[in-house]
A and B are shown apart, each in its own frame.
Chain A
C-alpha cells in the first residue's frame, strides 16, 4: 500500500484522481504515480459505491433479483435483466415465445446504441470537447422515449421477467423505432465530421493505450475494448442466445489495438445494431408476450450460468441453487471490472492526458465495477 499523499521513494509524485473527479465518471478512485506528466503506475481503488448487490440477491426471489441488476450497469440495464431472466429460464427450462424474444433483442440493441452514444459523448468530453455530448444526447433521448413508452422507465427498464416480457409492446413501438432509425441515419455522419475525422482527436487516439491481444486475453478484457485488439469475443456470435444465430450481423473487429481501434469498434457496432433492429422491427411475430409460469419460481438444485453481450462486454450470471425460492449464492461477472484491470498496463508510460482518454475508451461504468 503506497502512501496516499506525498511522494514515492524515487521522488515521483502520487496523485489521487477521484473519487470525485470529472474524468472518472463516478466514484472511481485512481492513485496514480507520475513523473512530471508521464504516468508510472495507476492503482484503482474500488468500493466507494459497493452496495453488496450479490449478497442482496441471496435474499430475493428469482423474480425479484432481476430488478437489482438494473442498478449495476445502469447504461445497459435491459441487457443485465436479460441475462438474469435467461439464466432462470435455462434452469427451469421455460420456453419463451418468439414475440418476447424478438422484443427483447430489439430493446437490447436499442440499449446498446443508447449506451454507445452516451459513451461517445463522454469520450469526447474526456478529450475536452463538450459539444458532442449534447449531439449524442439528441439521439439518445429518442431511444429513451421508446423505452419510456414501452417499458415505463427510461434508465432502469425492468421490462424482462422470467418467461418473457412484463407487458406487451406499446402500439407506437414499431413506428417510433423506424423514426429513430431514420433520425440516426441522418445524423451519424455528423459524428464523423465532428469527432472521428478531427485531426486533434485522431492524434490523441492513435497509438495511445496499446493493448495487445495476448494482454487483453490475460486481463480478461471483453467487449468492444477486446475487439479493438482483434479478439473475437462477441457472445452474441460465439454463444448465441435467443435468436441471435438467425440474424445477420458481423462481429466488429479492429486490428489497431489502440484507443482509436476501440473507438472505431463502438462506432461501427452502432451501425450493426441498427442493422439488427432493421431486420426485426417489421417482423415481430404475433403471440403471447409471456409464457405462463408459476407464481413462485423454485430453481432445481444445481449451478447455472448464462452470459450475454452488454454494451461493455461479457456479462455473466452465475446462480447456485439449493432448490429453494431464493438463490444460495449469486455471482455476477461484470465486464467493467476486468476491463479496468487492464488500465494500469495500458496507461503506463503515457501522458496524464492520455490516461483520461484510455479510461474513456474502456467505457467504465463504476456501479458495474463495484456492484
Chain B
C-alpha cells in the first residue's frame, strides 16, 4: 500500500539496514527538514493561489488565469519576483532585529509543524504534550511581529505591532480554553490520542452543543491570532498602510507573508485534529458497511480535506466582513468570548465527568 506511513517505514528500514543508528538518525532529520521546507513551499504556493481564487469567486471576477494552465503558476511567478527584489533595510531601523524578525516568524511556523499528524501514523514528532507545545510555540509569533514593528522605526509599523501584541495575547486565552475543552473530553494532551478518541465519531458530533460553541470560539480566536480579516488590525491596510511589515520588501516580506499562510494552515490543521477527527475517517456508530467504505479513503485525504475546509472558512470571513476597531476587538475577547469559553469549559468538564457525551 502506498500510504505515507508505509513509505516512511520502508525508508526507515532501508536506512537502518544500510547505515548505523547515528547516521540513520542524521539522515532522517535531514529528510524531515527537507520535507517540511518543501511542504512550506508547496503550501505557500497553493494557499496563495487558493486565496486569490476564493477572493475572485466571492468578488464575481476571474482571478489569476494567465500564468500557466488556469493561472496555476501565478504564485510561482510572484515568488520569483519577490526573490529577485531588493530587500531594503531603512536607514533608521535597528538592522539586527529588523532582519531577524521575519526569520523568527518563519521558524515559529516551522516548529509548529512538528506535532501535526498529516496521516495515519505519519507525524514528525509524536510528543505526549502536543497540544501544550502548539499553544506555547504559537505565542512566540507575537514576538516576531513586535520585533518587526519596533525595529522598523516607523510609526505605522509600531502601531500595527502594538495592536497585534494586544490582540494575539488576548485571543490566545479563548483559543487555549476552547482547546482545553477537547483535552478534557479526550483526557490527553497527545494529538494522536485525541485523534484515536474520535474513532467512533468526531468530537464536534459527539460533544453536544458545548463542543460546537468551543469550535466556534476556536475559529474566531485563531482567525484573530493569525491576524486575518476581520481581525487584521496589525496590518489594517486602510488605516496603517501595511502595519508591522510596512518597511519590509523582497524576500523578507515574503517570509512574513508565507508565515501568515502557514500559520493559517497550522491552526486549521489543529482545529481539524481536535474537533473534526484529524485523519480519522467519518464513522457513524455501528454502521459497519458505511464505516468500511469510509476507511477506503486515504487518511491523508481526510486530514487535508478537513484542513482545507477550515481554511476556506477563514478565507470566506476575510472577503466578507469589515474590520473591527481595536477597542471592539478587545471588548469582544474580554467581555464575550473569554467568559463564554470559561463557562463552556465548566460545562464540558461536567459533561466529561458525568459521561454525557456519546
Contacts and interface: CB of A to CB of B under 8 A. Distances in A.
The answer to whether A and B assemble together is yes
Interface of A: 13, 15, 21-23, 37, 124-131, 133-135, 138, 194-195, 198, 200-201, 203-204, 351-356
B325 A354 contact: yes
Contacts of A194: 320
Given A131-B59, A138-B60, A200-B230, 11 more contacts: A126-B238, A127-B322, A128-B229, A128-B238, A128-B322, A200-B321, A200-B324, A203-B325, A352-B159, A352-B240, A353-B233
A130 B319 contact: yes
B159 A37 contact: yes
Contacts of A203: 324-325, 328
Interface string B295-313: 0000000000000000000
Contacts of A351: 325-327
B55 interface: yes
Contacts of B159: 37, 352
Contacts of B233: 353
B322 A204 contact: yes
A22 B322 contact: no
9 contacts: A125-B238, A128-B232, A128-B236, A128-B238, A129-B229, A129-B320, A195-B322, A204-B322, A351-B325
Main secondary structure of the interface of B (DSSP, over half): loop
Nearest to A208: B325
Interface of B: 55, 58-61, 155-156, 159, 163, 229-230, 232-233, 236-241, 319-328
A353 B239 contact: yes
A194 B58 CA distance: 12
A265 to B, nearest CB: 19
Given A198-B322, A351-B325, A128 B230 contact: yes
Given A22-B238, A22-B241, A204 B325 contact: yes
B104 to A, nearest CB: 26
A22 B238 CA distance: 5
Contact of B323 (A21, A127, A133, A195): A127
Contacts of A129: 229, 320-323
Nearest to A199: B321
Given A13-B155, A22-B237, A200-B230, A128 B323 contact: yes
Given A128-B229, A131-B320, A138-B60, A23 B238 contact: yes
A201 B230 CA distance: 11
Given A15-B155, A131-B58, A198 B325 contact: no
Contacts of B240: 352
B239 A356 contact: yes
A201 B232 CA distance: 15
A19 to B, nearest CB: 12
Contacts of A128: 229-230, 232, 236-238, 321-323
A352 to B, nearest CB: 6
Contacts of A134: 59-61
Contacts of B61: 134
A188 to B, nearest CB: 16
A31 to B, nearest CB: 12
Contact of B60 (A135, A201, A355): A135
A130 B55 contact: yes
Contacts of B321: 128-129, 198, 200
Residue in A128, A138, A194, A198 whose Cβ sees the most chain B Cβ within 10 Å: A128
Residue in B58, B239, B241, B322 whose Cβ sees the most chain A Cβ within 10 Å: B322
Given A23-B238, A128-B238, A203-B328, A353 B155 contact: no
A13 B162 CA distance: 14
Given A124-B322, A127-B238, A127-B323, A15 B58 contact: no
A139 to B, nearest CB: 11
A130 B55 CA distance: 9
- Cβ-closest 6 pairs across A and B: A128-B323, A127-B322, A134-B59, A129-B322, A23-B238, A353-B325
Nearest to B232: A128
A124 B326 CA distance: 17
A356 B241 CA distance: 12
A133 B238 CA distance: 14
Contacts of A135: 59-60
